[in-house]
Amino acid sequence: MRIGVLTGGGDCPGLNPAIRAVVRRAEAGGHTVVGILDGWAGLANPDATLSRPLNRDEVRGIQARGGTVLGSSRTNLLKREGGLDAAEASIKRLGLDALVVIGGDDTLSVAAGLAKRGAAVVAIPKTMDNDVWGTEGCLGFDTAANIVTEALDRIQTTTSSHHRVAVVEVMGRDAGWVAAWGGLAGGADTILVPEQPVDAAAIDRLVELVTRRRSYATGASVIVVSEGVQLPEALLNLSGDVPRDEFGHPRLDKIAVGDAIAAILEERTGLEVRCTRLGHLQRGGPPSAADRVLGARYGVAAIEALETGRWGNMVALRAGAIVEVPLAEVGGKNRPLDASYLRVFDALA
């Protein structure tokens, strides 16, 4: 088989280990691999230079590198007139027999569209938000959680020294997995996540927690806030002018949720409250050991699925095992944070 591989959506650590595994396992099976550059934008472009052959030498050592050697884009072919037609034309022009797609929910929704048309597609889930439906593990999440943990370790020391309140904004558009794992590991006092809209009562509880902790030895508090947390519009001052991507999502980097929470707390408590936005630090740098291993497992499983004709699926992690989930069941849904994590924070408050 001649197999194409692409990465779509936001970059994250773990993509390159998966690409490496796809190439090495494909070559071991007698197949050839073509890398599609810049995700769906590259595949839908008639310019053949947006692809390149991949072999074992090309991918040697890339498991230690963050990002993606293939490039990526936030391109929604489902919303572009003739988008899927253009992708199918490129698949035919490049002589591809199958396609491995590495991406999050939005990227996988396009993969599902191609699979529905009969394309031999197998997908690999990635997103540092860890919220792809149907899997318990997404590439990029473990590294992001580790980065948040290290950042909180550092923030804890300075807040304790100066008796301050710190609000730390982390990534997580629709789910609070990064906030929960990073917050628990980094000793945050509480978290605010998209699964729990922040209303007036929630703000009151937050003010009470910060005020109560002021009487402790350090007088410090650390609050982790997911970027996608739902604040009342009156508090957030969100206008209709916020830029959106091709999938219709608000550009969360343009909405200062953490700053809004910090301002509210400072006004209500009279304490000094500072906000730190970790931003793209969370998606940069080398992948963790866990993301490298998961990428290797996913890459091998994807090629094995193609070899046996089990396309139209996403390889997934469930109870430690690699399984397959129909792509038709994945798109348009998110896996929310398990409520048990919130109960742990309540118990430790």
Give catalytic residues, as residue numbers: 129
Could you tell me if 261 and 202 are in contact, meaning their C-beta atoms sit under 8 angstroms apart?
Answer: no
The Cα-based distances of 152 to 95, 96, 196, 203, 279 in angstroms read: 49, 46, 22, 22, 14
Query: Nearest Cα to 299, choosing from 140, 139, 145, 108?
Result: 139
Taking the mean position of all CA atoms in its chain, how far away is CA 124?
A: 13
What one-character DSSP code corresponds to residue 342?
H
136/321 Cα distance (integer angstroms): 10
Q: Which residue carries 């193609």 as its tokens?
A: 306
Query: What is the DSSP track for 217-284?
Result: SS--EEEEEETT----HHHHT--TT--B-TTS-B-GGGS-HHHHHHHHHHHHH-S-EEEEE-GGGGG-
Q: Which residue, chain included where needed, has tokens 């599902």?
A: 112
User: Half-sphere exposure (CA, 13 Å, Cβ side) for 225?
Assistant: 29
Residue length of the chain: 349
Pairing of the two strands 51-54 and 32-36: antiparallel
What SS3 state is found at 167?
strand
Task: Write the single-letter amino acid at 309.
Answer: G
Cβ-based burial of 143 (10 A; exposed 0-12, middle 13-18, buried ≥19): buried
Biggest CA-to-CA distance, the chain? 69
Q: Using alpha carbons, select from 127, 59, 117 the residue that is nearest to residue 91.
A: 117
